[in-house]
Structure 1
Amino acid sequence: MKHPLITSALLGLMLAFTGTANAETTLAQKAQVENRAQQKHNSTRESLFNKTEAELKALRTELTKQRETLQKQNDALAATFSQNEDKLARLEEKLRLETGSLGEVFGVVRQNAKELQGELESSVTSAGSQSYTAIVDDIVAATKLPSLPQLTGLWNALDEQVKATGQVDETTIRFINGDGESQQVEAIRLGAFGLVSEQGYLAWDGQKQEARAYVKQPEKGPTAQSLQPVVDSQTLITVVDPSRGIMLEQLALTPSLMDRLQAGGVVGKIILGLLAIGLIIALFRGVSLFIARQKIRAQLKNPQTPGNNPLGRILAVYDPSKNRTVEALELRLLESVVDEQAHLERGLSMLKLLAALAPMLGLLGTVTGMIETFQVITQFGNGDPKVMAGGISMALVTTVLGLIAAMPLLLAHNILSSQAENIRNILEKQGIALVAEQAEKDLDANPSVGKAA
């Protein structure tokens, strides 16, 4: 009898072997099933791949055909493009050759139109003699060749302005008076040179279509009334401003004599005061010396009767009844000549002082004006010359006034000094003659004295 443990072990091994065999059989079956499923799946995928490959080959064939078609179209288009480029180049060259002269004409037309536009805006012909302004503006603003009507309008505008330049016409304009009031007045247009009303020349504003009177009118300037015969006869004989108002505007800016004197300031007024004083002195002394010369001439004709004049007073010193020596007579005559000389030269020293003082004051005004100019430059800079004009005007005007005052005063002093010197020479000559006469009398009275001498 076998041992029960061994029997149990054997049974266990048999059961295990049986279980393993059954498991292997099951796995093999599963593997076969999966293999058949895989083969079926592979067959399905292979058929799909074959179908897809066929479709792709067909698609590639179709795309290849399309590419060839498009390539042919592209080649055809490229050939057409090249032909068009050549044709366009030939046409552009032809257009350039045919429009080259027209382009130059267009440039000339625009240039003349711009010049005419500026003329129309500023000229007085806009007061009634401008009918083609719109056409000229269109030509200036155009970006293409002008049309034939525009060219004709430009020609008519030029012809109109040429004719208006030689016409003297009456027209009605809007006038702005000094109070700023607007009114319609009758005016006469002198070609393209100016407008004239009863106030004289008018400053015309072409943009606002209004006129104002100039601040200062030229001497013997025309008026509407004085030009009425000219309008009737179309013969212009009057004062015309060829600069079309520029000279008239400058005329208003031209300073008068009083404006120039005002620019001299206080120093200039002092110089003028010294000049006036000097001229009064010169005039007074000139009249006195002239009267004295006339009296001396009359006295020379009648020396025996001394009068109330310089020479008469010299002759009155000599008295034959008085027994004077030659030396005493000579001293008395010298005293009288010195007194007369002082009387004749009275005021001449003041005249000389004023003549020397005037240019010094002018120099003072110059320095003062330059100091003022530099102060203005320090405050406002030197960008605007107008801010420096006041100081420079004072500097120059005072210098001119000083020289103007000095020259006539020096000339008057020289003339008056020469006259006084001539009178003094006459007095000395007559005094010497009296001394000689007294010496001769003494010699005749005492011959021994003469012999002893």
Structure 2
Amino acid sequence: MTPPRAYGGLIAVTLVLVAALAGPAEAQPQDLDALLQKTREARANDAETLEARVQRFREARDARAAETREAQRRRDAAVARSEALLAEFDRNEAALTERQAQLDARSGNLGEVFGVVRQVAGDFASQSQNSIVTLEHPARQARLDRLASATALPSAEALEQLWLDLMQEIVATGKVSRFVAPVIDASGAVSDTEVVRVGPFTAIADDRFLVREPAAEAFTALPAQPPRALRQRAEALSEAPVGAVQRVDVDPSRGALLGVLVQTPRLGERIRSGGWVGAVIMALGLAGGVLAVERFFVLARVGARMRRQRKAIASPTPDNPLGRVLRVYTQQPDLAPETLELKLDDAVLREVPALEARLVWLKILAAVAPLLGLLGTVTGMILTFQQITLFGTGDPKLMAGGISQALMTTVQGLIVAIPMVLLHAMLNARSKALIQVLEEESAGLIAEQSERRPQGLASDGVGDGV
């Protein structure tokens, strides 16, 4: 079959011949021979090109057939190997089942023992992960983890080591030990520090209380340390020689109580949580305290002088209210009782304001302080409700500020009001007692003058009659 490209060559030659025949009749015969020769050469070239292409196609076909046969051979080999491996897998699985049955038959109760050992090791590993004793013996945790996750029967050495680790933990509960361990400070730096361990409960470095940091396998200092008294006892234990008896505070919850203790607000933090209302209440309380102290010393000094004056009625002095009242009588001893009574009443009334001075302010502060506390409570609750409206109730910390202000201002108001009421009552009673002394002494002078006055009048009448 002649290829399509050959037909194209014949068509081209035919067109050339037609064009040549249609030319002038006088064309030379040699031009036709040359044209025929070119046509033959072109046809020969096309045939060679076509043959070369056919040959390349045949070679490519043979190569693809060889590759196909090779792939089929490899596939057959893989299928055969897969079948062999599956057969071997079945044989191994059957052998494994048989060996497992033999192992179960020979081990007997050892399987239950192995389960108990794994359970004990797992429980102890969980406890040891948070124990401060583990940092003194860092290799223990890895042994326990391996034993808890083992799939084979434990060896006698492993069982003995587990027993030793358990005994070590028991002994450590009643022992104070010193060792060097990594400690993470507040800046995040890790340093090897001498640590004093009090049983499994408390760890101390100098005057700092430490807690276990499981993620870092190190101790970390509490972000806020307990009160100074506890730190002083901890420092004394750190500096005490070996064998000395020293008092120290122990956290039986192994860190939980210390965490709660350091989170407890200090007095200053509680006062600041009251906000500006709490500050006003505390300022009023301070002013009331200063006023009460001043009134106490003034009334005490006046009372002491009046007691001395009562022992020396005949020689009144002007440095005390009683002396000034008595001077009214001694300066005008011949006054009529009615006139003397008026003058003494006037002298007593002049002394009363000084004795009762500024006591009314204590009474006012005692009434205003709880009202300010109520104001702070209302303000704090309004703030809390505003935060709930904006952020919801998902995060209690957002509401803590308003609730703290609401509660602390009430507490501060009561703390100020209750002492103010007691101080006012005490000082008012003291001033009333001093005023009572003045009234008693003035009444006594009037009575004495009244007794003397009729005798004087009678003596005058007898003399006149004579």
Give the structure-2-normalised TM-score: 0.67
Unmatched segments (≥5 aa) in structure 2: 1-100, 462-466
Paired residue for 1:171, among 179, 185, 200?
179
* AA of the residue aligned to 1:229: P
Q: Determine if the alignment matches structure 1 residue 133 to structure 2 residue 141.
A: yes
Paired residue for 1:229, among 241, 254, 263?
241
Aligned to 1:253: 263
Q: Determine if the alignment matches structure 1 residue 304 to structure 2 residue 318.
A: no
Q: Measure how far apart 1:286 and its partner are.
A: 1.4
d(CA) in 2 for partners of 1:216, 1:304: 67
SS of 2:315's equivalent?
Answer: coil
Mapped contact 2:134–2:141 kept (Cα < 8 A)? no
Mapped contact 1:129–1:161 kept (Cα < 8 A)? no
Q: Determine if the alignment matches structure 1 residue 205 to structure 2 residue 213.
A: yes
SS of 2:232's equivalent?
Answer: coil
Mapped contact 2:379–2:406 kept (Cα < 8 A)? yes
Report the identity percentage: 40
Q: Determine if the alignment matches structure 1 residue 429 to structure 2 residue 440.
A: yes
* AA of the residue aligned to 1:373: T
Aligned to 1:274: 284
Paired residue for 1:122, among 109, 115, 130?
130
What do the CA deviations read for 1:117-167 (whole angstroms, capped 9, x no partner)?
112211122223244434432443356876666544433432332234344
SS of 2:180's equivalent?
Answer: strand
Mapped contact 2:204–2:238 kept (Cα < 8 A)? no
Give the structure-1-normalised TM-score: 0.69
Residues 220 and 329 of structure 1: CA distance in aligned 2, closer, same or farther (over 3 Å): same
Write the mapping of 1:385-396 to structure 2, written as runs, cut at 5 A: 385-396=396-407
Aligned to 1:328: 339
* AA of the residue aligned to 1:226: S
SS of 1:201's equivalent?
Answer: strand
d(CA) in 2 for partners of 1:224, 1:299: 58
d(CA) in 2 for partners of 1:297, 1:236: 54
Mapped contact 1:307–1:313 kept (Cα < 8 A)? yes
Mapped contact 1:132–1:153 kept (Cα < 8 A)? no
SS of 2:179's equivalent?
Answer: strand
Residues 436 and 132 of structure 1: CA distance in aligned 2, closer, same or farther (over 3 Å): closer
Paired residue for 1:186, among 191, 194, 216?
194
Q: Measure how far apart 1:216 and its partner are.
A: 0.6
Mapped contact 1:200–1:221 kept (Cα < 8 A)? no
Query: More displaced, 187-196 or 270-279?
Result: 187-196
SS of 1:222's equivalent?
Answer: helix
SS of 1:174's equivalent?
Answer: strand
What RMSD, in angstroms, separates the aligned Cα atoms of the two structures?
Answer: 3.3
d(CA) in 2 for partners of 1:199, 1:260: 25
d(CA) in 1 for partners of 2:262, 2:130: 20
SS of 1:202's equivalent?
Answer: strand
What do the CA deviations read for 1:326-347 (whole angstroms, capped 9, x no partner)?
3332222212111111111011
d(CA) in 2 for partners of 1:129, 1:236: 25
d(CA) in 2 for partners of 1:371, 1:110: 58
Q: Determine if the alignment matches structure 1 residue 315 to structure 2 residue 326.
A: yes
Q: Measure how far apart 1:349 and its partner are.
A: 0.7
d(CA) in 2 for partners of 1:354, 1:334: 32
Aligned length: 355
Residues 147 and 277 of structure 1: CA distance in aligned 2, closer, same or farther (over 3 Å): same
Q: Which has the larger radius of gyration?
A: 1
What do the CA deviations read for 1:408-450 (whole angstroms, capped 9, x no partner)?
2111111111111111111111111222233334323445999
Aligned to 1:287: 297
Mapped contact 2:359–2:424 kept (Cα < 8 A)? yes
What do the CA deviations read for 1:94-130 (whole angstroms, capped 9, x no partner)?
x89x97x777655544443332111221112222324
Mapped contact 1:130–1:160 kept (Cα < 8 A)? no
Q: Measure how far apart 1:173 and its partner are.
A: 2.1
* AA of the residue aligned to 2:343: R
* AA of the residue aligned to 1:288: V
What do the CA deviations read for 1:11-62 (whole angstroms, capped 9, x no partner)?
xxxxxxxxxxxxxxxxxxxxxxxxxxxxxxxxxxxxxxxxxxxxxxxxxxxx
